Structure 1
């Protein structure tokens, strides 16, 4: 085995751990306070009419993605899914901040205490982690088993 493969494996374990913690934590927080989460989503611009669907599907998707990280053959799918979900969250925040007077935070737990700038930076950090993981897998495809 080469160094690049070993680094990739360690990196993927680290990123998987971070994403599992993030998604399980935020999904659990949303589900524990599902009524409050639903009310907040219902007040959000552009998506309020889908608040019931979003209130239940977002934590379910977060748990599903966290579960994908537990199985090595699904790591690439988990990274693409995480990249997509975090990108959607971030783009939505940026659009709403640009075109709306206010945006209620529907995040769970400690993350809801962040400013919007901190939240965007946090999301961008996780987006970068998943993108780097995707690129490492692609670079080491001949060593990574599916």
Structure 2
């Protein structure tokens, strides 16, 4: 099997894994929207934007999850995944460094993770998104030439 075939299958796998992550976290946040907003209100630096973020984040996660399955928008969705996960990971890292404690605004199984595990999970998904960007771009370039 050529690298192109392997990369194509991996891009599909990465799309699936990112979709599962984003749909799971978005649905969990929307089911417990009041609790999610309350936790955001208690987080340093973003408390004034809690109401907006409580709707915008799950909405954005669902949009990205959907875009991952449209070939035309897949590279953009991988970039958006990478950026969203990067912003959240950077935020967690900064707050952990400069605050004494922060509440987890995650839902379900992910809320059971410690912060270091959470950062590791995010970085793992960022690597998947980055590889998805690279390999999607290669596939797109091969298909257009």
Q: Same fold (TM over 0.5)?
A: yes
- Structure 2: state its 5+ residue gaps: none
How far the C-alpha of 1:140 sits from its partner, in A, is 3.9
| Contact 2:75-2:137 at 8 Å conserved across structures | no
2:14 paired with 1:24? no
How far the C-alpha of 1:5 sits from its partner, in A, is 1.8
Q: Paired residue for 1:73?
A: 72
Distance 2:131 2:137 in 1: 10
Runs of 4+, deviation exceeding 6 Å: none
Distance 2:16 2:141 in 1: 24
Q: Paired residue for 1:119?
A: 118
With over 3 angstroms needed to count, the CA separation of the structure-2 counterparts of 1:140 and 1:70, relative to structure 1, is closer
With over 3 angstroms needed to count, the CA separation of the structure-2 counterparts of 1:89 and 1:107, relative to structure 1, is same
Q: Paired residue for 1:91?
A: 90
With over 3 angstroms needed to count, the CA separation of the structure-2 counterparts of 1:144 and 1:89, relative to structure 1, is farther
Deviations 1:111-134 (A, max 9, x none): 000001100000000000011111
Instruction: State the number of aligned residues.
Output: 144
| Contact 1:4-1:140 at 8 Å conserved across structures | no
How big is the alpha-carbon RMSD for the aligned residues of Structure 1 and Structure 2?
Answer: 1.3
